[in-house]
Amino acid sequence: MKTKEGGPRDSWYLVGVAFFILGLGTLLPWNFFMTASVYFNNRLNKTEIINGTFTARKEYYFNNWMTLLSQLPLLLFTLLNSILYPRISEKMRIAGSLVFMFILFVFTAILVKIPMEEDLFFSITMATIWFINSFGAVLQGSLFGLVGLLPQKYSAVFMSGQGLAGTFAALAMLLSIASGADDETAALGYFITPCVGTLATVISYLLLPRLEFARFYLDKNRGQNYEVDTSHQLLPKETPQESAELNGHANGSVPNANPSASSGEEGDGGKQAFVRLDVAEAPETKSSVLEVFKKIWVMAFCVTFVFTVTLSVFPAVTVDVKTVYPGTWERYFIPVCCFLIFNVMDWTGRSVTSLVQWPPKESRIFPVLVVLRVVFVPLLMLCNVQERHLLPVVFSNDVAFVIIMMLFSVSSGYFVCLSMSYAPQLVAPKDAETAGALMTFFLALGLSLGAAFSFPLRLIV
């Protein structure tokens, strides 16, 4: 069976499943370490008996440091993107990152069974978080480029996989708790899960070249991109006539080129066909980064502000909220009411944008609504967060916390998705790639700023 473009069909939707798993795999490090914060805090913030009284040991602020050291690599590798990616092959970036992530997950699982002094355990864990998220950042950037070579719907499938990574981690935590095993065994089972997930991600990536549908699009687009990138080195300096002809094709792009021209002909005719392809189909000169930023700065501000607000209190503040119902429910409270609800509602907010897109991108109401989300910061800080320092508890009931969390997370997913989808629409098609790269940078900036703000906000509570 052939597609409308003359290519093979995605039999059994195997390529879609592969990219869904790849999307899931990119965010396993962040979500599994974040969801396991209860385990890490219990192991670090123990109490000891001195002269018959319980004395708390020093506070490590694990949630704050975990958030910061998870997001800084994303910002760093976004800045290094143009330097790092062209110099390292795609297979090395993707397969190599997955292998190192697998090794670090196995190492984290082994640490569960090794008794260790708290300071040393904290330092090793923080180093692990930094490196595993660094490899995750390289993996994510590489896979975004790879899935971009396929039809648009596969990008949506890939992002759906990313959106469900948090839910996958929360469900894994709930299953480990429900198993009835002791805390150590439950934690071991929990960290074995991402090891299996990472192996499935490796298999999915290695499977792609064996699938005819994926091979058709990847080989076709890579070949065309190569012609665009190298043709200027092969062609002589443009004559005035060639230059005018080149500038006259405002909407030219290689994917729409004549197949006979792109394939070339034997002898001198092949070179002439290649020249005609470059002249006739080369894209317009792209606008500068500053020119593109002037058009999308509102959306860049919005995505930065949304993530700054979200990461400033989640999970650093929300993970310390305590239930008012003691007993068995205490073990499930944070995995369900904090992590599971956040991830499900965040994914719901992102999904809703496929049905409703309000306010429109030109509306001044949009940035106003984004800024109003800052109200969730004091609301969550006034929930039953323990231990407290300065602020009173206003919303002690579990139901109040759940309602605030649902609104907080669904608005986060909704506004992030709108911001990221609106930005490329504000520029010409030739500048859409630049707009996307800029938005990715400001997304990473928002995550890092939110992680930094989480320190003083947690101290204020």
Task: For 246-260, write each residue's pLDDT tens digit.
Answer: 333 333 333 333 433
pTM > 0.85: no
pLDDT tier at 293, thresholds 50, 70, 90: very high
* Mean pLDDT in residue range 187-212: 94
Q: Which of 140-144, 300-304, 450-454 has the lowest mean pLDDT?
A: 140-144
Q: Which fold has domain 1-210?
A: Growth Hormone; Chain: A; (1.20.1250)
Percent of the chain residues past pLDDT 70, beyond the cut: 82
CB-count burial class (<10 Å; 0-12, 13-18, 19+) for 45? middle
Q: Is the pLDDT of residue 192 over 70?
A: yes
Q: What is the mean pLDDT of the chain?
A: 83
Scanning 314-392, the segments in alpha helix (DSSP H) are: 329-333, 341-352, 365-372, 376-381
pLDDT surpassing 50 at residue 265: no
Secondary element (H or E) of residue 49: strand 47-50
Give the CA angle between residues 379, 381, 385 to the nearest 5°: 130
What phi, psi does 380 have (nearest 5°)? -75, -35
Two structure tokens written together for 214: 């994926």
Beta carbons of 395 and 401 less than 8 angstroms apart: yes
Q: Are 290 and 354 spatial neighbours (Cβ–Cβ below 8 Å)?
A: no
- As a whole number of angstroms, the distance between CA 296 and CA 104 comes to 38
Would you list the domain boundaries of the chain?
1-210, 214-281, 288-461
DSSP 151-185: -HHHHHHHHHHHHTHHHHHHHHHHHHHHT---HHH
